[in-house]
Structure 1
Amino acid sequence: MAAEPGCGAAGARRGYEQFGGAVAEFSSESTPWWPARPAAAGAPNVVVMLVDDLGFSDLGPFGSEIPTPHIDALAGDGWVFTNYRTAPMCSPARASLLTGLNPHRAGFGFVAHIDPGYPGYSCEMPEDAPTLAESLRAGGYATFMVGKWHLTVESRLHDGADRSSWPLQRGFDRYFGSMDGFTSLHHPHRLVRDNSVVDRAEFPEDYFLTDELVDEALGMIDGLRANDADKPFFLYFAHTSVHGPIQAKPADIARHRGRYEAGWNALREARFARQRELGIVPAHAELPEDALADGDRIPRWEELDAGERQLFARHMEVYAAAVDEVDQSVGRLTARLAELGELENTIIVLASDNGGTAEGGPSGTRSYFAQFGQSVPLPDGWVRDVPRAPEEIGGPRVFGQYPTGWARVSNTPFRSFKASTYEGGVHAPLVVSWPAAPAAARGLREQFVFVSDLAPTILELAGVPPLAERHGRPALEPDGRSVAALLGDPAAPGRTSQYFECTGRRAIVEGDWKALSPLAPRRSEGATGGAWELYDLAADPTETRDLAAEEPERLAGLAERWRTEAWRNTVFPLDDDGSLFELRPASEAPLSEPVDLAPYRPPLERFRAARLTVLRSFAVEITIAWGPEAAGVLVAHGDQGGGYLVAVEDGRPVLVYNAYGDMHRAIGAPIGPGTGRRELVLRVDELPELRWRLRLEIDGAPAAEIPSVPMLLGMAPFTGISVGYDYGGPVDWELSQRRGVFRFSGGAIERLRYVPGARSTHDRTQLRRIDEAIAALAD
């Protein structure tokens, strides 16, 4: 991990204290143009709608061919920001949006799946950082949230966890959604209402999460209005779309059939032409050629065979349908606000959290977890895309992600993708609507705005001061500054500078200039080491001409400025070898100890369940009271994205393994008549090349075996462990079609115990007493 001298935990803490007050630079103060009034006197409602992994060009106002009439209407009633930038990944952007802090100062130098012990990577918002919701609630607002949270470190998502970083404890009166980074839209792996998991064993055949999120949001608003006709509300609607797995409803997919047969190059050029017509990009902007625009990662459309074109086009049809469904959610929400007579005085902010993602790889995938979130090198022959019929993509049986070629279309006209510090990773769409604002003030805005500016802007528009303290501690000074003046004055200034960092990739924008380093430096090179590039964004907004060789002094100055900003924002240490993601607090160790699970309860939470199985051997010990009619699922872990299951059907033991969509089944001999107690043991043992062998024993005798299958790695199995039934998205689709959740009956599950075994040699996790070290520093 590359760092400045003395940057260990203590050094990072000192940097945090010394530079914690750094703020954004603006060249003038905001000039109010809206009526100043307290929340109790007709303050506007506020809706912030965040879309996950949406590319810059994916909405109609930004050049997309995807019909988005409701978002188009928002843009017509408001402002389209063409120079809005965000963090390169989702959790950092969300933390910055809610706190007004830069991502690392907000605790999120990465997504909420690490905790190495450094302030910039704690994956918890600081206790002395009031959220937008907390300030608005103190100012008289009702505060609601639906959708993706992803601001609690994953080890604190389980039912016994400290909830201090959950939505209700961070300012929201009501919450409904998925606390994790994403989920299946047809069968969510886990839903939380307020502070509790939703106890729901199965979903209706036509269930779709986006629809339920809208239903819940409207219910919160209607519930408020039934009891208080005047109280303003803040709704944070954090879409799970269009993050993978990309899914959509059949009717919506059908509307986009045939739209993408021309291929990604033709669609990219068409979007670029529309962007020029709309004024979204300047006339002199150039579309980066293949050599710069990841051409080595994208197959040439004209060289694909007919089957590949059909498959790849289907991926994009599903993506377009998912964007369409986001637009439909906007339409349902604005229609209800219009019925209530409140649309006119509602501020709506719609944005993406980062650029479109290349996670799908050159060919896309129908086996999302086979390649997403992996922390170990995959062996030769690893299947990243288990074949399934193209028409199943988008449906409940496929966890898919579109190919890199379509991600490049999403990010038109920019280079690169999510997690990059090129513009494709950080340049995102932003639409702001407030119909009550003067019509003459609306239109395009080209000034630089960063995600940390949104919270201060909203507070200023609402007439609510930010909280001065939280939990008795003075509030951290925000990094963002209100850009409300931009809404009334197209000539008002935006910000002048901003740093960026993600997994050692670095960048800084200073006026018209941008310096970036696309790779982490080696440890010996220091914070400003490695190869840097330099771009004049005024002349070259799409980063096609590297001026590093022509302007070495300017580049050196910008790199040094980046280093200064990195110290101010607790960016260090940089991850130069992956070890930043291997360190975890020793307080997580109990999550890997043997555990007894009761039947018929909501599934054990994903991360908690994963500590028992991922990158290790393990055993499941099951004691059942056997009866002649005994049947049903004994234990299920996972879903259509990957998992395993033990059941009894027709008197026989059934062992099922879903290897990222590739099904394996072993059915044993009849268990036998009569009653009594049966002892079953599922043994899952590691084999070479990241494989498992599964063996089921009954009363000590072999009953069924699956000899060799790929391990479930990373974030699979995604759905947690359910005992006595197969929750939600089934492990075995065919069994589910016959039996539903197949609740165990005709006997009783007396005991089910998970016993984790030896950790894989591939698991490089290091548990350290991080919590104790931080506490000692605080003393």
Structure 2
Amino acid sequence: MNLKWSYTVLGILAIGLCLASCKEKTDSVETEQSKAIASTGEYDRTVLPIVRPKRPFYTELDVRDVKAPPRFEVKAPKGAPNVVIVLIDDMGFGVTNAFGGPIEMPTMDKLADNGLRYNRFHTTALCAPTRSALMTGYNHHSVNMGSITETATSFPGNDAIRPQSITPMPEVLLQNGYNTAMFGKCHGVPPWELSVSGPQTQWPAHSGFEKFYGFLGGETNQWAPLIYDGVTMMETPKDSDYHFTVDMTNQAISWVRFQQAMTPEKPFMMYYAPGATHAPHHTPQEWIDKNKGKFDAGWDVMRQETFERQKALGIIPQDAKLAPKPKDIKDWEDLTDKEKKLFSRQMEVYAGFAQQTDYEIGRLKEAIEDLGVMDNTVFIYIAGDNGTSAEGGMNGMFNEMTYFNQIPETVDDMLEHYDEWGSPSTYPHMAAGWAVALDAPFTWTKQVASDFGGTRNGMVIHYPKGITKTGEIREQFSHVNDIAPTVYEIVGVPAPKVVNGIKQNPIEGTSLVYTFNEKDAEEQHKVQYFEMFGNRGIYSDGWLARVIHKTPWGAKPLRTLQEDIWELYNEQEDFALTNNLADKHPEKLKELQELFMKEAEKYHVLPIDDRLFVRLTASAVGRPTLMDGRKQLILGEGMRGMAPDVFINTHNVSFSITADVEVDNNGNGVLVCQGGRFGGFSLYIKNGIPAFTYNFLGLESYTVKATEKLKSGKHKIVMDFKYDGGGPGKGGLATIIVDGNKSAENRIDKTQMTIFSVDDMADVGIDEGTQVADYGSSNKFNGKIKKVVIDVK
């Protein structure tokens, strides 16, 4: 026997032994499951999926002589409740009336009056990390979501890829007999996976949700959203009265009614996550008008009034002090009349957006009540995935994309849009002074994970079947990673130990069920780290040690990580963190600093990366994109909705677009575009004339048009852009060439240095969402596109 033959035989034997071993393990699991079902009528829910019993063999010839085996069906534990989790976006601790804030949100009030309010509940200080922790029961770095997906790096803890050893809560409930659905904002899909090429394993439809209707990124235009139904991109709605929050609520109500009509005995889990109140702040005029003049007294008065209401409601202790504002935030009385006028309008729009959202949540609540199942529904209402956002800077923004491109907007410029603020013609954010006021009684805001202004959010749990002492406040420390284990305990299912043959990490959150009917129950979540872009802290049994490393509006950190100054607070005696005890208790501070490093190592927080704007560029931090190293992209008809990380990068470089097309005597429509009304470019034909428009942040627009109308037939249209160089965001010369002949050229004085849009994507043959340019009656191309080639030079 030759050596090659020997290896072949050994290989076959090895495969056979492996298959036999795998079969024995499968048979063993099936046998154990079968024994469990036979003896208790229940299954082993720690191993998912729950394995079907072994199929029996029969020797009988005639089916009439045999009794069929019982039908196997995984059912939820008897009496398991429905689960509804509502997560509002960018809403701080001091926003809602229920927690002493200035904004009336009656749905939350009603749920709080008949449920419990949690005044020491915490998030992670940013959107995607909070959502990952919420949907799993683990710390955000454990889920590899150390920051938002758009700033993922190549390091564990920050690569945005959920480990196989962590299974999302909806998947656990689905495999335990629930129907599951999600509506609204996801923000959990790595940006390079936002295409048909996927993989789509972290899309909601493949993460445990049977139904998903919403958007995948960090924000969306409420008037013209980029919506997916499952994994299918929907057409932008054409209704002039359309608003996404209304649409997603209609979808949610329709789904739950359908589900209960079909299987009223089967529990459902719904995750309702509106894009509100994240920028852009978009809401109908009727909601804005409800708040006209309400905030003219300014953010200092509003902040003080919120602080006093919080004391009156018992949300904060009577001896609590109002934390100082950040030094960068001006006193309202020092502002100009123009600033006051603009800023008051910004707050009116934000408040209307919040009120509209609560109203829509109320419609969902009423639909569940009409179905008669509210008493056996756990309704968890979380007012914010972080503190209110101060990313609008000192003046706010007409177009939030100016923030990511580091382009300041003046008050005079924004006042030109005063009457339309919040409408489809704006993409607005508000001044940071409002964010600080809406995070009262704390100093800081969203992004600042080391201050409770960034991480403390109001939460209400309503559960008539399980909560008897209603209308009370619960003061135990809690964290967003506590929600999944709370749901598991209420439902009666364990956090799985094995899923699809993969051993699962132990759950990291702590169930809150122990607080439901025991107001003074001993706190069980005793240690929790916080970290976001270098802002970091550690909570331990009433103490908080922390570092303020970077402001939300600052491009650079205040100091290096090595030079950071640690502070120490006794949080149980100092609710708003106003009395730094670092000098009085250096030994306690040292103990907590050491504890932070242990927790940071344990949960993949290290090494810390504070390079916010650098991290927006994938190549700078090792984040993959589908275009890694590519200089050419060949596109065809039907390709649309291409996100920045799956489209070739044309920022700060020379590039050309070549389109091979066929038109009739009046060609019209888009050949290829990226972005929309608030920034982007488009190569198109209008009334037979080829044109290229570069829209700079919705502030300025540059167009170059060919000189002659295209004749019927085939044509090659080229747009060649020669970048000036000399740094990012510079201008260049755009030239249009038709069938080999130079037709026209024009200067483009400014370009966007980092991103056009997070929701207006790249399209071929159409401009979905908002429009880059004025195309006339229709932007859909009426000819044929053979191909479009983009070359980066």
Aligned ranges for residues 164-563 of structure 1 at < 5 Å? Answer: 164-188=201-225, 190-198=226-234, 200-289=235-324, 293-296=325-328, 298-351=329-382, 352-372=384-404, 374=405, 378=406, 387=414, 388-420=416-448, 421-494=450-523, 495-519=525-549, 530-563=564-597
Q: Is residue 664–residue 706 contact of structure 1 (8 Å, CA) maintained in 2?
A: no
CA contact (8 A) 1:268 1:412 kept: yes
Q: Which amino acid aligns with 1:196?
A: T
In the TM superposition, residue 349 of structure 1 has moved relative to its aligned partner by: 0.7
**Structure 1 residue 663, shift from structure 2 partner:** 3.3
The structure whose RCO (Cα within 8 Å, separation 6+) is larger is 1
Report Cα offsets for 1:49-86 as digits up to 9, x if no partner.
11111111111101122121111111111010001111
1:242-273: CA deviations, max 9, x gaps? 11112112221121121111111111111111
What CA distance in whole angstroms lies between the structure 1 residues aligned with 2:784 and 2:302? 58
Query: Pick from 681, 687, 692: which aligns with 2:731?
Result: 692
AA at the equivalent of 1:125: R
CA contact (8 A) 2:691 2:736 kept: no
**Aligned counterpart for 1:93 among listed residues 127, 130, 135:** 130
2:130 is matched by which residue type in structure 1? A
Conservation of the 8 A alpha-carbon contact between 1:591 and 1:608? no
Query: Hey, what's the Cα distance between the residues in 2 that align with 1:662 and 1:589?
Result: 29
Cα separation, 2, equivalents of 1:154 and 1:257: 39
Quick check: 1:756 aligned with 2:756? no
Matches within 5 A, 1:676-691: 676-687=713-724, 688-689=726-727, 690-691=729-730
Is the Cα–Cα contact under 8 Å of residues 224 and 236 in structure 2 kept in the other structure?
no
1:617 to 2:660 alignment: no
Distance (Å, rounded) in 2 between the aligned partners of 1:367 and 1:413: 29
> Are 1:583 and 2:621 an aligned pair?
yes
Change (3 A) 1:500 1:185: same
Distance (Å, rounded) in 2 between the aligned partners of 1:173 and 1:59: 32
SS of match in other structure, 1:119: coil
1:370 and 1:383 in contact (8 A); partners too: no
How far apart are the structure 1 equivalents of 2:105 and 2:611?
42
Q: CA deviation at 1:106?
A: 1.4
Question: How far apart are the structure 2 equivalents of 1:158 and 1:511?
Answer: 45
Say if 1:755 and 1:526 are closer, same or farther in 2 by CA, change over 3 A.
closer
- Please report the RMSD computed on the Cα atoms of aligned residues, expressed in angstroms: 2.5
Distance change in 2, residues 1:724/1:457 (3 Å): same
Q: CA deviation at 1:226?
A: 2.6
The percent of aligned pairs where both chains have the same amino acid is 28
Count of matched residue pairs: 702
CA contact (8 A) 1:399 1:640 kept: no
What SS does the corresponding residue of 1:147 show, helix, strand or coil? strand
Amino acid at match of 1:232: P
**Residues 499 and 304 of structure 1: is their aligned pair in 2 closer, same or farther, counting only changes over 3 Å?**
same
Q: Which region of structure 1 is more displaced relative to structure 2, 598-607 or 615-624?
A: 598-607
Supply the distance in 2 between the matched residues of 1:593 and 1:168 (Cα, whole angstroms).
Answer: 33
CA shift at 1:116, angstroms?
2.8
Q: Report what 1:6 is aligned to.
A: none
Residue 676 of structure 1 and its aligned partner are, at CA, apart by: 3.2
**Partner letter of residue 642 of structure 2?**
L
SS in 2 for 1:222: helix
Alpha-carbon shift at residue 711 of structure 1 (Å): 2.0
In the superposition, the TM-score normalised over structure 1's length comes to 0.86
d(CA) in 2 for partners of 1:705, 1:281:
64
8 A Cα contact 1:652 1:667, kept in partner: no
CA apart distance, 1:585: 4.8
Query: What residue in structure 2 maps to residue 711 of structure 1?
Result: 751
Compared CA separation, residues 535 and 474, structure 1 to 2 (3 A):
same
Query: Is 1:104 paired with 2:104?
Result: no
Distance 1:576 1:144 in 2: 35
SS at match of 1:440: coil
Q: Is the 8 Å Cα contact of residues 276 and 357 (structure 2) preserved in structure 1?
A: yes
Select which of 82, 101, 108 maps to 1:45: 82
Q: Please identify the structure whose Cα radius of gyration is greater.
A: 2
Alpha-carbon distance in 2 for matches of 1:309, 1:478 = 48
Q: Which amino acid aligns with 1:132?
A: M
Question: Residue type of the partner of 1:682?
Answer: M
User: Which AA in structure 2 matches 1:724?
Assistant: G
Residues 1:76 and 1:706: Cα distance change in structure 2 (over 3 Å) = farther
Query: Which residue in the other structure is 1:731 paired with?
Result: 772
Partners of 1:201 and 1:752 lie apart in 2 by: 23
The answer as to whether partners of 1:398 and 1:640 remain within 8 angstroms in 2 is no
CA contact (8 A) 2:644 2:761 kept: yes
